[in-house]
Amino acid sequence: MKCRKCEQTAVINMRQHKLALCKEHYPAWIVEQTQRFIEKYRMFTQDQRVLVAVSGGKDSLSLWDILWQLGYQADGLYIGLGIDEGLGYSDESHRLAEQFAAQRGLHLRVVDVAETYGETIPQMAERTTRGKGRPCAVCGLTKRHVMNRIARDEGYDVLVTGHNLDDEAAVLFANTLNWATGYLLRQGPVLEARQGMARKAKPLCRFYEREMTAYALVRGIEYIYDECPHAVGSKTIYYKEMLNKLEVDRPGAKLSFYLSFLQARENGLFVASSENDSQTGASGEALHTCPSCGQPTTAPGECAFCRMVLQVREN
Amino acid sequence: MKCRKCEQTAVINMRQHKLALCKEHYPAWIVEQTQRFIEKYRMFTQDQRVLVAVSGGKDSLSLWDILWQLGYQADGLYIGLGIDEGLGYSDESHRLAEQFAAQRGLHLRVVDVAETYGETIPQMAERTTRGKGRPCAVCGLTKRHVMNRIARDEGYDVLVTGHNLDDEAAVLFANTLNWATGYLLRQGPVLEARQGMARKAKPLCRFYEREMTAYALVRGIEYIYDECPHAVGSKTIYYKEMLNKLEVDRPGAKLSFYLSFLQARENGLFVASSENDSQTGASGEALHTCPSCGQPTTAPGECAFCRMVLQVREN
């Protein structure tokens, strides 16, 4: 198959866009499209400071690479989670993130969870009921806290993550299967700042996972190939597989699911009532401020993250 | 496995309800539950006249059987579609519906499409673009028209159909995948009368398909086993299979998908704006009245059904 824009061999064929592109025109197209989405969803501007959450995976490194090419003031944030599992998972992710930043002369801010809070994620998970069997809940809680803290304390205008369409569609699918009102009202390319929470944006939300993989490969970005060893068997992966099956039978199904959701919301399908207000937690209750860290929490008193860290310190 | 209510062997185990019942207690439970749903969703009362759309399949005959046991004034409506395909599909359905009514001394109203409108469904489908390849769109259009006409002209208070949970979940799933706002606002156990359209209710909407099969078998109801030969490969069957896979992995998933949708709507998740008002067609436009039949239509002039019948008569 030939590139739509020149005579070279295409490296990717995007059936849902009826578009095949070569190894020069494909990454250029991704960069242009990202700029289009940044503007369309009013994510951030050239004079704002952007913090990119970098995991060492293909999506976050590609995102940082794109923003760098577009000339945005984008620093990286790497959070050392201490996940090893005999694979040196976190060490290798950290090495790749540092290497990426050094190659481009970019600033990578590093927060090591064990150094900062006393224990690694798997260690913390062992002492909480949240973590029973699987540290993912503790990991998510910690990453949200740290990303938010750095974005706020170090004066960034927006925190951006590398969530791609497959990620977003899977989360939307999960939230739709049980009609999780609070989450449905909030999911989207941009989450506005609220009550001590940084503004968040997802510039890659309209790209398929395979498009991001192709981008990273064509750009020669070295990234960590493996999924986190703890993610195996997760609900999100289960829903991704269901949506992949649907996509095979109906090319474009994932994109249409996500975009028609955004469109329906824009057309006013949903209403934020007292039951499901956007200034509340996902299950509808009013938000409080944690007296220790100043971040929002659904119950009065210390937030779940600060309570967990307190437990670590007391032991 | 034993029946929850006595010592007999259970004929069904409903994992989502953690309930196993025997061949006496199971049908009694289905009848009680149906009465509960009729009241909960304010479907109809004992002094109202109910028209049951009867196809000869397990769901509609079981529904009529349940309403008969509960003492409702329920007549049947059988629509002869003229689907044969070498299987005598419509003839056999008609025979079973007549046999069912005769056994219980119930009144079955019959409308034969070819006699009334000049051609069978497969014949009509051949002359319209709606029918290209598959007569299902023509069939749906015709059934909606006839059910509505009989319900209205013969003074019924409500038209009831045998849609079960699997049917409802599959339609909800399809409408959610493309966020079909108009349909999402309207789907539910009851659709109120509007602009020349009869009131509609679905008393079986909370029963799984397998529960209805078990009911028909235990009650010795003779019904047509085969799906309509034209339904093979339909979207609805495709979505049913996806949801069946989900149900195997997460028992109760279908029920929870449907009920959490109803709950979210009741909590005010959706808003009927001018874009998606409930007094409009599914895509948002205002409804008109067909000058020939008096039923609502999305465009001024004859409705799609009357235009189709006119074509048949002119040829």
> What pLDDT does A30 receive?
98
* Chosen from B177, B240, B247 to mutate, greatest number of chain A CBs within 10 A: B177
**Is it the case that residue B229 has pLDDT exceeding 90?**
no
Q: Which residues contact A86 (CB under 8 A, 6 or more apart)?
A: none
- Check whether A22 has a pLDDT greater than 60: yes
Q: What is the pTM of this model?
A: 0.90
The pLDDT assigned to B191 comes to 95
A22 phi/psi in degrees, rounded to 5: -90, 180
Residue B78 and residue B94 in contact, taking contact as beta carbons nearer than 8 Å: yes
CB atoms within 10 A of CB B135: 24
CB B99 within 8 A of CB B56: no
What is the number of alpha carbons within 13 Å of residue A167 lying toward its C-beta? 18
CA distance B145 to B197: 9
**Of the candidate ranges A132-141, B115-124, B128-137, the one whose mean pLDDT is the lowest:** B128-137
- Beta bridge partners, B49, equal B73
**Cα A112–A118–A123 angle (5° rounding)?**
90
User: In the predicted model, what is the mean pLDDT of chain A?
Assistant: 91
Instruction: Tell me: pLDDT of A307 over 80.
Output: yes
Q: What is the CA radius of gyration of chain A?
A: 20
Which pLDDT belongs to residue A19?
A: 95
- Candidates A242, A256, A270; nearest CB to B271: A270
Asked if A269 contacts B271 with a C-beta cutoff of 8 angstroms, the reply is yes
What is the residue type of B38? I
pLDDT band, residue A156 (cuts 50/70/90): very high
Residues in chain B with CB shorter than 8 Å from the CB of A276 are 267-269
Specify the pLDDT at position B164.
98
Which among A111, A78, A83, A117 is positioned nearest to A95, based on CA atoms?
Answer: A78
pLDDT band per the 50, 70, 90 thresholds, residue A275: very low
pLDDT at A270: 82
3-state DSSP assignment of residue A228: coil
In the 8-state DSSP scheme, what is residue B227?
P
Q: What percent of chain B has pLDDT over 70?
A: 94
How many CB atoms neighbour CB B2 within 10 A? 12
pLDDT band at B60 (very low <50, low <70, confident <90, very high): very high
What's the confidence (pLDDT) of residue B282?
52
B296 by DSSP, 3-state: which? strand
If you average pLDDT over every residue of chain B, what do you get? 91
Chain B residue closest in CA terms to A243: B242
Q: What is the pLDDT of residue A130?
A: 67
Q: Which amino acid is at A151?
A: A
User: Looking at the complex, does the CB of residue B253 fall below 8 Å from at least one CB of chain A?
Assistant: yes
pLDDT tens per residue, range A204-259: 999 999 999 999 999 999 999 988 888 888 889 999 999 999 999 999 999 999 99
Helix (H) or strand (E) holding B110: strand B108-112
Chain B's closest residue to A239, CA to CA, is B246
The strand pair at B288-289 and B10-14 is best described as unpaired
Tell whether B273 is within 8 A of chain A (Cβ). Answer: yes
pLDDT at B216 over 70: yes
Residue A53 sits at φ, ψ, to 5 deg, of -75, 115
CB pairs under 8 A between A and B: 70
The pLDDT of residue A272 is 66
* Interface with B, mutate which of A173, A177, A242, A248 (most B CBs under 10 A): A177
Task: Identify the pLDDT of residue B268.
Answer: 80
Give pLDDT, residue B277: 47
Span B280-293, pLDDT tens digits: 555 556 789 999 99
List C-alpha distances in Å: A152 to A50, B5, B209.
Answer: 11, 60, 53
Q: How many residues does chain B have?
A: 315
Residue B281 is encoded by which pair of tokens?
């067609």
Is B177 within 8 Å of A273 when comparing Cβ atoms?
Answer: no
Share of chain A above pLDDT 70, in %: 94
CA dist., res. A41 & res. A197, Å (int) = 19
Cβ burial of B18 (10 Å; 0-12, 13-18, 19+) is exposed
Range from A240-244, A271-275, B194-198, B304-308 carrying the lowest mean pLDDT: A271-275
CA distance A181 to chain B (A): 7
Predicted confidence band of residue B131 (pLDDT cuts 50, 70, 90): low
Instruction: Return the pLDDT at A277.
Output: 47
Could you tell me if A147 and A77 are in contact, meaning their C-beta atoms sit under 8 angstroms apart? yes
When pLDDT is averaged across residues B50-61 and rounded to a whole number, the result is 97
Give A178 to chain B, closest Cα distance, Å: 5
